[in-house]
């Protein structure tokens, strides 16, 4: 396997999808893998056309994911898939992942991992049992300057962390505020496909994950106020959450899909006794660091003063901006490293979200929902 | 009075103070007033030196505010004060204001207005009875682009407001996080001088006031989580508050004095069904406005496209930045207009915070404290 | 004089003017001076109304500056002016300054100092002979972070300076690009009032002055390309200049009044062997400093890490923005210090532009014009 | 060819190179091509290792580019290369391109195209004769918001263009300012490999190209002042150029490799009679547009209000930043479209720099050098 590109399959992500193409670009851009099979849609014509656009062998393009897993399981070693990327709406993740694991493939899975915490725990058991690689695309942790922030916290450059403010404002659903949402077929607003939450499950968990990745702190309890502002929306499209972290830090998490004018404004500020830091996804090559009583420093990706970890995940020199796809690709690179190591029966330490992060995501979602439903009371993080 | 500058007195604000000098510069910079008397400190030497630095007649410089009010009451019409600025620590506001009103002077008072809501209501009655002008320096509403924001909301350019995020992070107390605060003599951390709150009373109410000034929305209920992170601090130095506004909007208010690296970061974002806006005090000449599905517009002070109100509070052309003092001076200008109108027995509509804003500030402070103390529960705004 | 405010007179700056009111606010905001006399316009009604708006004694309001100087010369010591501010169009500066000096008053004069280099040199001789204070309002040098930049250069934090890029783009005349300028009565475009240059004389010299103030470097030779893009404009409204500084540094100076969309974008970048710095007038409380191979630091006014000089010119804490008027006022404060010292026969070192800076401004203007007219050739700085 | 990925070869770009890996990522990330052969270095071991890291068939990895072209020419149709990317130092471009064209392959070539204008013209003749695709990687024109700017100019949203300020400051060579450059083996400073210019040839031509791409304006004459500030540098590492464009616009071009603290700060401002625009490569997803007398608009990639052309070159939604590699990849996509069309004997209009842009680059370089050497005189653009 070490003298060839890895072979990937994809379930979901047909023409017109957002995240499927991102997975494909991220997986192949570094020359480490290529996609050779896929079930891009349950609509045969759409799946066929998607496969064609990817120059795939038509015999390895499917419109039924079960059929795909069966057929691909029968491929000989020299053409057998090394991993399958799952990029369908959330509702099907669990069933697909289960069958993929049983067939013995490694998985790269989009978030949220499953519909429920119960499913998440069950999936964890399956992953453990399978011994396979399971990577979850909490992609924002792939940005080099997010990794830099994590290093700075771990090296105690911030001192004791007191306050975390993490926000994920979007406005892409705001045009529905004065219209009818029910008709629009946005799967994230459909409980059958998205589960019990729209906004928190889609982006709130990215915010929680980002804060935890950088600070290492785990939520102790929270108080959540959600709302579906969009007429006809059965789920939340906006949420405000107060947080208390284990160890005493306080937090605010704000996620929204109806914050008119916002694009994809994930950002985080962490305040410690010795310094504060600030990072914003829309201008991701920079991390702002202000030591106590000193000037703010604009730490820039690609510089000699960066940590080794940030350097390891950097492709091009300072001033040449890397973006969303490169950060996403960093997750794939780590997953590939793990997959190659597993095949070679070697141990390797990789920096990629796992099934445990998926469980934490569902714990967060369900705790937020529980708090909200119980009169927005303070609620302990579900275990 | 209309052919001369107004004559002002000041109580508090001696050498080394922060807000006293700001009041002085704000009051005189437009050539509408001059200070001619003052009790700058209860320390006679300090007050004398302060008066000297201001080139005051030594006979009108005092070290006992009661004495000052008595003496100034006795001045003849041609040298009698037109207003007195109260810039002492909060605890003395009520008693000073009471005596000043009884002596028949107009008042410009720093915030918070009083120590308690009870005092605030009592002061309101006194102001009403006196018929005098009482202006409260919620100075951030003096910025032209804040006024522009208010106009835009009132003209429904934002549509229905759904979400308000208002923040006031400071870090100036962060250096105490690892030390002993009790020894430092910072009056805002002393319950005797500052009352039951440090952070919320000092800056949290600015944030509440700013949001209310721009949107016209009043808090319905709130859930607050406060903390004094500084060792030995008996009061709050950080607070996170979830808000529900009357009419259905949701809000987040974050105020902090220990957010390391922050300077004076008051900022607000308001999201409506038709547009979102964003303003930041540290770069105050600009208001960012994003209509639904359109590009963000950087509205800049001093332009022909500004509203008349923003223009009325503008001194110099676009690109020539106005700052904190000019905004503060806008409040004084409005107070002076009211004072001159009162003297001339004319009616005039002015845009300056009043005793009612002072009451709202205390209602907010006491509701936040009540929520926090009752296990951080959701709490109706105290009436 | 030390136990009272200074008394000022003003020539020019009537209602509707831009720079006159700025001088007034700048002069009085710190409580060091007051205006008590003025000739605000040659139109008696306009001058009268201007004086009235300033609450001046009508007997000290004039519409003929010669008359004013004569009358004010006759005032007794207890009401005699300490300084006169000259804020008329350039053409009259020389004659006014001459008579003011002869009458024995100190001068604060707007830039450019005179119409021609010849006048400038003659004025220098008169100033010298008079022994009076002559301050020239190259106001941008009043910003604390500009002073910080100067300190950094002088302390060799930048190493050897190699490159200076200084720009002053404005767009306020761009609306004339498609119209007729001749009709508009803008005095800066009228050779009789503004002299041989519009753009370079109005703002180009600010750029030259700023670069020289910060770096201490003097232009050796230059190559200028000017244009009046506005139909009917007899003078330049845009200019590009390449510079060679004594000592080997290279420079670019760009000044424009037709750069559509620009407001008052004076900015400078200085690149040395050890660091680069960058400052922008529209956000003037910050200086960006990037040491070789290190992150960019955002130096912010009002911090403990600022130089003593920057601190000395700072009124309010970090995060509370100071603006254009405060910077202007810093020049007046220095001029006042010099005036008080002169009266007290003391020596004092002040940081305020002098008649020498005025001469340098005219040397620059005339060299630029000479280069431009001689086929835009490289031209030695006129002596 | 339309049912498979294109097959590419690469000459240059071995391990440790900067631009080679960029070409590889850009070429493969969209799934349109893969590299199957390469001569990555004249050092056999280095080339072998580079090929191995790319999982290439070792028989198609070479250390002599002539040998590679010969061997690859002999490949049968089913494995024959569709294009060869040339990413060597400039000096060898001409000879390599000549032989590649003669062997009948399409070319993607890095800039500057050749060492001299003479070579450039000769290469143009060869390209024409060959009928092959020749794409030149002036990659900055691949950014969607640069294309948006070009559309806006062509739709006359800026009116008549009066002024262009284009800058390309870098500081990566500044650490050599106090050292010895000659020893460092930086090929761009070696006349044998880089030709007669370092800074202008490397980055100055990007600035010229960007300005021309956006505005369509061609330089008429220029005045250039170059310098090699680095001790021992025989070539320029900094240049300032005044420009006059055909049609009357004026320009400033500034390119530098010793502007300490700058990273890769290519930026452009274009001022017209109706609007001004501004774009900065380090934050490339935004284009700032200020119509006359209106607020600045921050046009953001991925929005419904973008032009169709900007949309066509966009992969992911607004707020998800695309970067340098994606922009580079846009050039490859266009080149691939042309290559597929050529193979299918179809006509297609593509937006990719050609051999003509290469000639213009060399005309610019040689004119700048001519001006500089002739006492920095104004010089007509060489034809």
Q: Which of D260, B168, C285, B259 is nearest to A290 (CA)?
A: B259
Reported as a single tens digit per residue, the pLDDT across C123-165 is 999 999 999 999 999 999 999 999 999 999 999 999 999 999 9
**Structure tokens, B188:** 């805002």
Radius of gyration of chain B (CA): 21
Q: A-C interface: how many C-beta pairs under 8 angstroms?
A: 32
Query: Is the pLDDT reported for residue C107 higher than 70?
Result: yes
What is the Cα gyration radius of chain D?
21
The DSSP secondary-structure symbol of A7 reads E
Q: What are the tens digits of pLDDT across the range C195-243? A: 999 999 999 999 999 999 999 999 999 999 999 999 989 999 999 999 9
The dihedral sign for the CA sequence C180, C184, C190, C192: positive
- The fraction of chain C above a pLDDT of 70, given in percent, is 98
> What is the pLDDT at residue D182?
57
- Say how many C-beta atoms besides its own lie within 10 A of residue C304's C-beta: 9
In this model, does residue C189 exceed pLDDT 70? yes
Structure tokens at D341: 């069309």
Distance CA A196, CA A116 (A): 9
Distance, in Å, from the CA atom of A51 to the CA atom of A37, rounded to the nearest integer, reads: 8
Place of tokens 């349109």: D32
Neighbours of A231 (CB within 10 A): 12
Instruction: Report whether D359 contacts D117 (CB < 8 A).
Output: yes
Range 289-318 of D in CB contact (< 8 A) with A: 300, 302, 315-318
In this complex, the chains that touch C, judged by 3 or more CB pairs closer than 8 A, are: A, B, D
Give the residue from B162, B165, B368 with the most A CB atoms within 10 Å of its CB, the best one to mutate. B162
Q: How far is B161 from chain C (nearest CA, A)?
A: 29
Distance between CA atoms of B62 and B36, rounded to whole angstroms? Answer: 12
Within 8 A by CB and 6+ apart from A223, the residues are A241, A242, A371, A376, A377, A378, A379, B223, B225, B242, B376
Backbone angles phi, psi at A134, to 5 degrees: -130, 110
How deeply is A307 buried, as exposed, middle or buried, from its count of CB atoms within 10 A (0-12, 13-18, 19+)? Answer: middle
Q: How far is A298 from chain C (nearest CA, A)?
A: 5
CA distance linking residue A184 with residue A170, whole number of Å: 18
What does each C-alpha distance from D217 to D160, D200, D211, D248, D272 come to in angstroms? 11, 19, 8, 10, 13
- C281 near B CB under 8 A: yes
> Mean pLDDT over all residues of chain C?
96
The DSSP bridge pattern shows strands D6-11 and D33-39 to be: parallel
Q: What is the pLDDT along chain B (383 residues), one digit of tens a residue?
A: 778 999 999 999 998 899 999 999 999 999 999 999 999 999 999 999 999 999 999 999 999 999 999 999 999 999 999 999 999 999 999 999 999 999 999 999 999 999 999 999 999 999 999 999 999 999 999 999 999 999 999 999 999 999 999 999 999 999 999 976 655 668 999 999 999 999 999 999 999 999 999 999 999 999 999 999 999 899 999 999 999 999 999 999 999 999 999 999 999 999 999 999 999 999 999 999 999 999 999 999 999 999 999 999 999 999 999 999 999 999 999 999 999 999 999 999 999 999 999 999 999 999 999 999 998 999 999 99
ipTM rounded to 2 decimals: 0.97
Q: Looking at beta carbons, which residues of chain D come within 8 Å of A54?
A: 31
Q: Rounded to two decimals, what is the model's pTM? A: 0.97
CA D4 – CA D36 distance, rounded (Å): 13
Cis peptide before A278 (omega within 30 of 0): no
Task: List the end-to-end C-alpha distance of chain B, in Å, as a whole number.
Answer: 39
Contact D304 B297 (CB under 8 A): no
For residues A378 and A242, what is the distance between their CA atoms, to the nearest angstrom?
9
Q: How far apart are CA B289 and CA B295, in angstroms?
A: 9
Q: Cβ contact (<8 Å) for A303 and C297?
A: no
Q: Give the number of C-D residue pairs with CB atoms closer than 8 Å.
A: 142
Q: What is the secondary structure of C284-339 as a DSSP string?
A: TTEEEEEETTS-EEEEETT-TTS-HHHHHT--S-TTS---HHHHHHHHHHHHHHHH
Q: Across-strand partners of D85?
A: D10, D108
pLDDT reported for residue D184: 62
C191 CB near a chain B CB, below 8 Å? no
d(CA B349, CA B367): 31
Contacts of residue B295 in chain D, CB cutoff 8 Å? Answer: 289, 297-300, 303, 305
- Choose, out of B296, B299, B301, B310, the residue to mutate when testing the contact with D (most D CBs < 10 Å): B296
Res. A182: pLDDT tops 60: no
Q: How many angstroms separate the CA of residue B247 from the nearest CA in chain C?
A: 33
Whether C304 and A297 lie within 8 Å, measured CB to CB: no
Cβ distance B283 to C281 less than 8 Å, yes or no, reads: no
User: Which residues share a beta bridge with D163?
Assistant: D250, D271
SS3 for B109? strand
Residue of C nearest to D376 (CA): C378
Q: Which residues of chain D have pLDDT under 50?
A: none
Q: Compute how many other C-beta atoms are within 10 angstroms of the C-beta atom of residue C178.
A: 13
pLDDT of amino acid D179: 79
Asked if D144 and D313 count as a contact pair (C-beta separation under 8 A), the reply is yes
Of C57, C107, C100, C65, nearest in space to C83 by CA:
C107
Shortest distance, CA D381 to any CA of chain B (angstroms): 37
Q: Which of D247, D313, D278 is nearest to D152 (CA)?
A: D278
Residues 43 through 82 of chain A touching chain D, CB cutoff 8 Å: 52, 54-55
Structure tokens at A355: 């099934």
Name the CA dihedral angle for A332, A338, A342, A345, rounded to a multiple of 10 degrees.
150
Tell me how far CA of residue B45 lies from CA of B14, B18, B48, B64, B202, in angstroms: 10, 19, 5, 12, 29
Give the separation between CA C112 and CA C115, rounded to whole angstroms.
Answer: 7
Look at D316 and A322 and tell me if their CB atoms are within 8 Å. Answer: no
Task: Quote the pLDDT of residue C366.
Answer: 98
Which DSSP string corresponds to C180-214? -SGGG--GGG-HHHHTT-SHIIIIIHHHHHHHHHH
Burial class (CB in 10 A: 0-12, 13-18, 19+), B192: exposed
In D54-190, alpha helices (H)? 65-73, 93-102, 117-130, 144-154
DSSP β-bridge partners for residue D135: D108
Mean pLDDT in residue range A86-110 = 98
d(CA C267, CA C283): 10
Q: Are C213 and C146 in contact (CB under 8 A)?
A: yes
Q: Helices A324-343 and D324-343 sit at what angle, rounded to 10 degrees?
A: 80
Closest Cα partner for C141 from C335, C338, C339, C281? C281
Q: State the Cα–Cα distance between residues B95 and D329, nearest whole angstrom.
A: 72
* 3-state secondary structure (DSSP) of residue C66: helix
* Cβ contacts of D254 on chain C, cutoff 8 Å: 165, 252
The pLDDT value recorded for residue B182 is 58
Residue D83 half-sphere exposure toward CB, CA atoms < 13 A: 33
- Asked if B171's CB is within 8 angstroms of A162's CB, the reply is no
CB environment B103-112: b (16+ within 10 A), e (fewer): bebbbbbbbb
Q: Contact C199/C237 with Cβ under 8 angstroms? A: yes
Give me A289's structure tokens.
């660091």
Q: Are A348 and A338 in contact (CB under 8 A)?
A: yes
What is the average pLDDT value for chain A, to the nearest integer? 96
Nearest to B229 among A162, A289, A296 (CB): A162
For residue A293, what are the contacts with CB-CB under 8 A and spacing of at least 6?
A: B175, C303, C304, C305
Burial D29-65 (b: 16+ CB within 10 A, else e): bbbbbbbbbbbbbeeeeebbbbbeebbbeeebbbbeb
φ and ψ at residue C164, rounded to 5 degrees: -125, 125
Q: How crowded is residue A364: how many other Cβ atoms within 10 Å of its Cβ? A: 28
Contact status of A186 with chain D (Cβ, < 8 Å): no
Interchain proximity D35–A31, CB inside 8 Å: yes
- Give phi and psi for D43, each to the nearest 5: -85, 115
């Amino acid at each position: 396997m070490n003298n060839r590109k890895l072979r990937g399959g994809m379930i979901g992500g047909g023409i017109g999808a957002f995240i499927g193409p991102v997975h494909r670009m991220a997986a192949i851009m570094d020359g480490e893998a290529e996609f050779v099979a896929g079930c891009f849609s349950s609509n045969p014509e759409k799946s066929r056309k998607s496969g064609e656009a990817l120059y795939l062998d038509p015999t390895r393009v499917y419109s039924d994911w079960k059929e795909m897993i069966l057929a691909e399981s029968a491929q000989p070693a020299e053409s057998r898939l090394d991993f399958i990327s799952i990029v369908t709406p959330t509702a099907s993740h669990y069933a697909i992942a289960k069958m993929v694991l049983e067939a013995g493939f490694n998985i790269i899975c989009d978030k949220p991992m499953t519909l429920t915490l119960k499913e998440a725990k069950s999936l964890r058991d399956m992953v453990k049992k399978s011994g396979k690689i399971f990577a979850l695309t909490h992609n924002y942790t792939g940005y080099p300057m997010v990794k830099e922030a994590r290093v700075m916290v771990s090296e105690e450059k911030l001192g004791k962390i007191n306050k975390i403010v993490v926000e994920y404002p979007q406005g892409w659903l705001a045009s529905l505020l004065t219209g009818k949402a029910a008709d629009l077929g946005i799967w994230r607003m459909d409980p059958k496909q998205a589960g019990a939450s729209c906004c928190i499950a889609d982006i709130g968990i990215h915010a929680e994950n980002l804060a935890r990745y950088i600070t290492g702190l785990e939520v102790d309890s929270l108080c959540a106020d959600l709302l579906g502002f969009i007429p006809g929306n059965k789920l939340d499209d906006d949420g405000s959450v107060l947080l208390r972290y284990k160890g005493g830090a306080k937090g605010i998490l704000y996620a929204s899909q109806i914050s008119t004018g916002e694009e994809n404004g994930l950002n985080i500020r962490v305040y410690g006794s010795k310094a504060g830091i600030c990072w914003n996804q829309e201008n991701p090559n920079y991390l702002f660091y202000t030591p106590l009583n000193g000037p703010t420093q604009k730490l820039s990706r690609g510089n000699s003063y960066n940590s080794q970890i940030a350097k390891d995940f950097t492709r091009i020199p300072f001033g040449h901006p890397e973006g969303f796809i490169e950060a996403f690709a960093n997750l794939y690179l780590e997953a590939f490293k793990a997959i190659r190591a597993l095949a070679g029966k070697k141990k390797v330490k990789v920096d990629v979200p796992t099934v445990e992060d998926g469980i934490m995501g569902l714990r967060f979602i369900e705790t937020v929902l529980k708090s909200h439903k119980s009169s927005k009371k303070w609620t302990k993080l579900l275990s």
